[in-house]
Amino acid sequence: MELNGILNNGGAHLQMKKVILRTVSLTAITTVAAVSILAGCSNTTTGGSTSTAGSTGAGGAAAKQADWAEQNGLNKTETVEELYAKAKQEGKVVVYSQSSRIKDVKATFEAKYPGVVVEAYNMTTNDIVEKLIREQGAGVYNADVVFVKDAGGTVSSELVKKNIVYKYLPSDLAAKMIEPYKSQSPGLVPYFSLRSIFYNTDANKTTPITNWWDLTTPEWKGKVMFDEPLQSADTMDLFLAMVQNAEEMKQAYKEKFGKDIVLNGTENAGYEFIKQLVKNDAVLMKSSDDVVEGIGKSTQAKPPIGFSASSKMRDVVEKKLKVNTTYDVKPRISVVGPSYLYIANKAKNVSAAKLLIRWMAGEADGQGEGFKPFNVQGSWSTRTDNGRTDQPAIDKLNVWKYDPEFFYNNAAKLREFWLKLQ
């Protein structure tokens, strides 16, 4: 169904919204294969040997990059005063950010640390991956801080493992974090969000669904909205989690319909759910904003339902949306969607980058204003000292774990499956 089809029925017409602090012209990567090709295109060949930014071939590039990280103290904990003194000499810090809320971070950081300017680029994670691979493959080191999600394990596989970005987690911040983010994460994770189900509160006093398979029934035909997965890494990650946990999806089907699932040419219950959802005339939207506003502003007697970024709950009051989300869906409500902070390889403003990451992570006491734009309803802090109390605690969330290796190895296959459904 077309975007306007469902929205116009409710008297609302929405347009795609995108906040850009600095215009960057890029073509989004929509397949893991495309990212790999870009990485291959950035290779340099000399005398018949080939080396990439993360290879251990000619020149020992990977070893040199690891030396750079150690030489620049990415494994050290320095005081804020020490970092600020050095950051003022650098004068700025360049951030590639997957969130438009970086503009709020910029404002508070520059007020806290006069003399250090935040140069912020707001892009999709796919665009950030492409830009970093192209730039560093050409010997251009523009970024200092990289703020991204993993995008189907692409960041872990194409940036982290190839030493294009590095983890920076000072000990005084790590001491306040919970596992697995304290010691097992490839980057500093200040918070995570989910892809969760939203419903219209005018038409429903409580959630109208309790099982993901509810969305495949005739009751919701043509009324389920979500971001187009080839444009939304978070939606694709949710589908990948369902494929990975197909046995749970299979059991949820039996609980819903009282019988065993019969696969219709699909590999497992995860793929079958996606197929049935699409065949139920799912409504593909351009952005998370469009999904939540389409549900919350609908005037239809039977408003649409959908799933989108859980952090959009912050818009309920501001945009006067009649919408709520549910945390009780079988087999699980969603997959964890961590947001990562990294320092880019050969960053020119390392001290300012460290200072900014500390700021965005809430600083040692958890009260740093740089974390406030992200400490919203629908996001969960990974620290023990600054979480919210108006939503379920982390240990009460019935969610799937994020598995970057599985997602990376299966993303291309799922994308091909998705394209065949269209």
Angle at 393 between CA 390 and CA 399, to 5 degrees: 120
Residue 417 has a pLDDT of: 98
Parallel, antiparallel or unpaired: strands 337-344 and 165-166: antiparallel
Decide if 294 contacts 304 (C-beta within 8 A).
Answer: yes
Distances (CA, A) of 317 to 60, 312, 322: 54, 10, 9
Average pLDDT by consecutive 10-residue portion of the chain (422 residues)?
Answer: 37 32 35 43 34 42 74 95 98 96 97 98 92 97 97 94 96 95 94 96 95 98 96 94 98 98 97 98 94 93 95 86 95 97 98 98 94 94 93 94 96 97 90
**Identity of residue 179:** E
pLDDT computed for residue 73 by the predictor? 93
- Segments making up each domain of the chain, as ranges: 3-16+195-335+414-421, 32-192+337-391
Integer Cα distance of 329 and 327 in angstroms: 6
Query: Residue 165: which of 193, 191, 136 has the closest Cα?
Result: 136
Instruction: State residue 320's pLDDT score.
Output: 87
Between the CA of residue 414 and those of 30, 240, 259, 328, 410, what are the distances in Å?
12, 7, 26, 26, 6
Q: What is the pLDDT of residue 49?
A: 30
3-16+195-335+414-421 has which CATH code?
3.40.190.10
Task: Tell me how far CA of residue 107 lies from CA of 112, 119, 198, 268, in angstroms.
Answer: 9, 11, 31, 48
The answer as to CATH 3.40.190.10 being correct for domain 32-192+337-391 is: yes
pLDDT of residue 61: 58
32-192+337-391 and 3-16+195-335+414-421 share a CATH fold: yes
Q: Quick: pLDDT tens for 179-226.
A: 999 999 999 999 999 999 999 999 999 999 999 999 999 999 999 999
Q: Which residue has the tokens 């039977």?
A: 302
| First-to-last C-alpha distance (Å) of the chain | 11
Encode pLDDT of 320-361 as tens digits: 899 999 999 999 999 999 999 999 999 999 999 999 999 999
